[in-house]
Amino acid sequence: MAGNKTFSMIKPNAVKSGHIGHILAHISDAGFRIVALKMTKLSVSQASAFYGIHEGKPFFNSLIEFMYSGPVVTMILEKENAVEEYRKLIGATNPQMAEEGTIRKLYGVDTQTNAVHGSDSDENAFIEANFFFSMRERFGVRGVEMLTDAITQL
Ligand code: ATP
Ligand code: MG
């Protein structure tokens, strides 16, 4: 069964262009609940780890440079079938190919500078959410307790 959470990031171009508010409104209006939210800036090593799957591809270095060129906004979103529903909402990787009304069509510039990231599987949503958010940020005191319990089992 598909999970109900996904991870998203507003990329540096959309933050710089002043679109944070528009994009968050778009996400809420589409029925997603924003369950965690953070503005941060990636280091080179964090950007490389986040997009590690693309290492070796011709666009990798340029992608990493873009991803640490300015602040990003990261979030965990909740909705039934969240991963698939959110990928539909953001549209194709290349904004020119994205459907009308999608976030990338509205705020993306080109294939690299495409305004938002969305997880491509439940497993990656879990990994990416944990990359940016602590257990306390995700689950409050219960999260700290879960982590403490797990560590004391080691
Ligand atoms: P994301 O993972 O950011 O949600 P995606 O899943 O639609 O995007 P991926 O194939 O995972 O697409 O690529 C990751 C990111 O790398 C893209 O969003 C884009 O910023 C960049 N990228 C992908 N392909 C290219 C390309 N051919 N040229 C330049 N940049 C690219
Ligand atoms: Mg991807």
Q: Whose CA is nearest to atom 22 of ligand 1?
A: 112
Nearest to 116 by CA among 5, 1, 22, 12: 12
Which of 63, 64, 83, 88 should be mutated for ligand 1, with most atoms under 8 A from CB? Answer: 63
CATH architecture of the domain with range 5-152:
2-Layer Sandwich (3.30)
Nearest to 91 by CA among 145, 33, 29, 26: 26
Which regions of 67-145 does DSSP assign to beta strands (E)? 72-78, 116-118
- Output the pTM of the full model: 0.95
Report the C-alpha gap between 115 and 5 in whole angstroms: 20
Whether residue 82 contacts residue 4, with contact meaning beta carbons closer than 8 Å, is answered with yes
Beta bridge partners of 11: none
Catalytic residue among 22, 26, 54, 117: 117
Instruction: Verify whether residue 117 is a known catalytic residue.
Output: yes
Q: Tell me the pLDDT of the chain (154 aa) as tens digits.
A: 688 999 999 999 999 999 999 999 999 999 999 999 999 999 999 999 999 999 999 999 999 999 999 999 999 999 999 999 999 999 999 999 999 999 999 999 999 999 999 999 999 999 999 999 999 999 999 999 999 999 998 8
The domain locations on the chain are 5-152
